[in-house]
Chain A
Amino acid sequence: MDFGQILSLTITQAVGVTALIYLFAAIGLNVQFGYTGLLNFGQVAFVAAGAYAVGVIVLTFDLSLWLAIVVGLISSTLLALLLGIPTLRLRADYLAIVTIAASELLRLLVRSIAFKDVFGGAQGLNGKLGQEFHDLNPLPTDITLPLLSWSRQDLWVVIVGWTLAFIFTALVWGLVRSPWGRVVKGIREDEDAVVSLGKNVFVYKLQALVIGGGIAAFGGILWAIAKQSVQPDTFQPDFTFFVFTILLLGGAARVFGPIVGTIIFWFLLAGFGEVLSSLINNGYIDFLTATDVGSIRFMLMGLGLMLLMIFRPQGIFGDRRELALDAR
């Protein structure tokens, strides 16, 4: 058992591309759910909006990546308005169901044979996505440090990604300590009170949805650029559930909650997976096979979410007094 290699693989995954995608979604969800109390269970649709914008603009229409990024933000904003305007007045559990339904509806439409020419159907869009981004890569070679190793392509994505993540975190920090943030936190607790003080609660909720969705869309854009592939079946509700887990783990309504949650979540998940795989491959455990590791990881994730909600809903950094949830 090469613990060094296990640790290296784990840390790489904990801060790598996939973790970054979830991080963007979590920062966005923190604005929507953590600070405004919107039970948006369709967050994956915003990620998909960003990813498919890149796929469609670059591959289907053969245009520039930078245009795709703009289109991605516009589509996520439109999605937020389309989703929000009719549904934001619904009660929490109804909103949860509707947002999941909406994200699945969009996925099925995008996956359909009818729109295959644009969205690529079930196979999705695969190819050279984000060439302009990779062309800007200043790194000379692949990196192999004692505990981290990335190809130069991935490392470039990781550097840019984390920089953006910190920028967005700073943005969120600025927003929530402003009067706007105060209104939104009031809405989270009691809409009627905020309404009685003269604030147009509906508009604030929409704004939170748009902002959170836009940040998540960046995760999708990163996805397309890094993985060079955009497929509908990877944008399912489970993604959103994992994002919720990450957010709750780090602490909802905490500016660093998403970052802490993402790193710890992926560290634990990847670490457990690597250790278990290694044990199996080296013959220490013979009643499991390598394919079982994936299932066990998800089992633990589900269990983890349950335990988190039951025993520590404020997560690691959260303040129990400030919970967006009615957990006690």
Chain B
Amino acid sequence: MLRAVRLTLGVLLLTSIAFLISGGLSPANAAETTITGTLSTPAGVAVSGVVVSATDAGGVSVSGTSDEKGIFLIPLPAGGTYTVEIDVSTLPDGVTLNNEADASRSLLVLGGEKKIIIGLSEGGESGIATADSGTSERVIQLFLDGILFGLVIALGAVGLNLVFGTTGLTNFSHGELLTLGAFTALAFNTAGLNIIIAAPIAIVFAAFVYGWGQNRILWRPLRRRKTGLIAAMIVSIGLAIFLRYTLVLFFGGAPESYKQFAGQAGIALGPFNTTPKALILGALAVIALAATVIWLQRSRIGKATRAVSDNPALASATGIDVERVISVVWIIGAGLAAFAGIYLGLTQNTVWNMGQRILLVLFAAVILGGLGTIYGAIVGAMVVGIFIQMTTLFIPTEMKTVGALFLMILILLVRPQGLLGRKERVG
């Protein structure tokens, strides 16, 4: 017991140090004061010709135009507070701002290069294809985008499902495991490690500190106290809020990108437009998920996990160390979630509420597949991912989560045990 406590404290100390270092670090550039950024569509295609301007308190305005790589640079006369505006009329057809409020924002630039993120989406008001691509091409694009999205969701949903299956906890802070993973990688990245090295380190770190650590410090003691599941669910809500705002405190509220691969040029595979990083990450995700599935099927602990998911009391009676299984489940769940967070961080950006934004989609995937069924999470995730992307044929991109929410509510009403679940009472 003492050893576990010391180990946990040591690891937490390392975490705090990592955070403090990253928070304290500012890009120590002796270069001139500029605002810069990269404009590209979610598929990774660079958006050029967009005018971005910065106006100071006195009303003096400087501007920059995005080049063929989508990069814009606004040289500033001095540090200070600027109002940064995007001239939406210079956005190409079919490309819009993710958030209308992004068109104008206030920014404090202290010195050196200030990078800002401008989220773009394709599809515009009616969600209809851009002038160039035909509908069938768009369908293929969205379908394959959906598969990639589904993989990310699966990485998050598997952990959520495993925790529910083995402990009964509906974990509302699972989204934060993604966020923490993304930010841990960001911390290592900002401290100097290339993201390719920072990412695996962050994943392992997350698996043990945020996964195993969380179980040891919080959930296991609560289980010992026999805290009920509804109470535990509310505790997880409090934890989610706490973690989110801790991240805001240490990292600020603005979206950040990793230092590498931020504005990667897109490639075209036939009708499918994507980026190399998305494909590589997708492949890695498939490997990770496949490994998890094989582990669950073949390994002793994997089988034990399935047994505990099915019937904890019975599993315990047959000699399975339930607590050990739960620890392993948290480690794997947190690790996969961290990978998902880094995935999102690389393909979009990192922001304090990125996990919260996707949490309901994760729940949709898990419920669709069947809460507590081992493979249901993956099946559900793929269906939800593809469904969400395909619905943007009819509904605006900004509302694409609506499809997933609607689907989840529908499933709960019609077939509450999900696609793969057994028909047990959910009401």
Contact = CB atoms under 8 A, between A and B. Distances in A.
Interface stretch (A90-98, A147-155, A159-167): A90-98
A39 B425 CA distance: 17
Interface string B298-316: 0000000000000000000
Interface SS majority for chain B:
helix
Contact of B360 (A100, A241, A325, A328): A100
Contacts of A101: 360, 363-364, 405, 408-409
Contacts of B297: none
B413 A112 contact: no
Interface SS majority for chain A:
helix
A299 B227 contact: no
Given A104-B401, A304-B238, A326 B228 contact: yes
Interface string B244-283: 1110110000000000000000000000000000000000
B249 A299 contact: yes
B409 A309 contact: no
A108 interface: yes
A304 B234 CA distance: 11
A105 B239 contact: no
Interface residues of A, number: 51
Nearest to B226: A328
A310 B364 CA distance: 28
Nearest to A102: B409
A174 interface: no
A97 B402 contact: no
A326 to B, nearest CB: 3
B245 A327 contact: no
Interface string A77-96: 00000000011011111101
Nearest to A328: B226
Given A112-B399, A325-B231, A326-B229, A98 B412 contact: yes
A121 interface: yes
Contacts of B243: 302
Interface stretch (A1-9, A275-283, A290-298): A290-298
Contact of B245 (A122, A302, A304): A302
Nearest to B371: A94
B227 A310 contact: yes
B398 interface: yes
B228 A327 contact: yes
B412 A87 contact: yes
Interface in A144-202: none
A305 B172 CA distance: 13
B407 to A, nearest CB: 10
Contacts of B396: 112-114
B413 A97 contact: no
A301 B427 CA distance: 32
A136 interface: no
A93 B170 contact: yes
Contacts of B406: 105
B240 interface: yes
B416 interface: yes
A108 B225 contact: no
Contact of B231 (A94, A100, A295, A326): A326
B164 to A, nearest CB: 9
A117 to B, nearest CB: 13
B242 A108 contact: no
A105 B405 contact: yes
A55 interface: no
A125 to B, nearest CB: 15
Contacts of B427: 89-91, 94
Given A98-B412, A310-B222, A327-B231, 17 more contacts: A91-B427, A94-B426, A97-B408, A98-B409, A101-B360, A105-B402, A108-B398, A108-B401, A108-B402, A109-B402, A299-B249, A302-B240, A302-B244, A306-B235, A306-B239, A310-B225, A328-B231
5 closest pairs, A vs B, by CB?
A326-B228, A302-B241, A302-B242, A305-B238, A327-B231
